[in-house]
Amino acid sequence: MSNEIRTDIALQRNADLFAPIGRDPHGGERIVRKSMSNWQHVRHRLVTNKLAMTGLVIIVLIVLMAILAPLLSPHDHFTTDLENTNRPPSLEHWFGTDDLGRDMFVRTWKGAQVSLFVGVAAALIDLLIGVVYGGIMGYYGGKVDEVMNRIAEILYAIPYLLVVIMLLVVMEPSLTTIIVAMSITGWINMAWIVRGQIMQLKTQEYALASRALGAGSMRILSAI
């Protein structure tokens, strides 16, 4: 067999292997994936993330135990029983008792209640103040942004422990004092994050169109 015949056979095989596939002219417009809103997309990512779902289950269990455990237990967190001090874990006292005979299981979950309440309350206050303060800084800019940013930097430079000590001197020790101490400087990072996002979003077309149509600053901020 000559070299020309072998070359023709090889080219024919390559042509059979690499034959072009027919193209659908409307294939690019076909919707392959179901459209989802932002919340549906976030929920889908959360559900498909095994590590995030494991953490969510643990958090839900802790919250449920903090709420239900003190209610279902026959013991309370403050009654002393000097005859049952420093008891080891048992069926009656699952975590044992302390040096005053108080049930440690109930006291543990009662402490979890207080910790969750303080954390959630401080986070909500930080979110509210940070979003409002940062939104005003980012939207108005100029002198307003400069002055408000300097105030935030001054507060951020104050040591947290010094703030707590000053509040304990002025206010009585309570949950309110702890929440105020955690919130008085905790909103600054949130404000700076919101400021950066607002500075980026306020130049978008829909924000400029809203301003051109006569929308007020508060309406544009709420829409952003």
Domain layout of the chain by residue ranges: 118-224
Instruction: List the chain pLDDT tens, one digit each, 224 residues.
Output: 555 555 555 556 555 555 566 666 665 566 556 777 778 888 888 888 899 999 999 999 999 999 888 888 888 877 787 787 888 888 888 888 888 888 888 898 898 998 899 889 989 998 999 988 988 888 887 888 889 999 998 888 888 788 878 887 888 878 888 888 888 888 888 899 988 888 887 777 777 777 777 777 677 676 66
d(CA 108, CA 30): 57
Phi, psi for residue 137 in degrees, rounded to 5? -60, -50
The confidence score (pLDDT) of residue 180 equals 85
Asked if residue 125 lies in contact with residue 191, where contact means CB atoms within 8 angstroms, the answer is no
The confidence score (pLDDT) of residue 58 equals 94
d(CA 211, CA 3): 76
The confidence score (pLDDT) of residue 12 equals 61
Q: What is the DSSP letter of 97?
A: B
d(CA 192, CA 106): 40
Amino acid sitting at position 68: L
The confidence score (pLDDT) of residue 60 equals 93
d(CA 75, CA 205): 62
Mapped onto helix, strand or coil, the DSSP state of residue 5 is helix
139: nearest Cα among 190, 188, 196: 196
The confidence score (pLDDT) of residue 171 equals 81
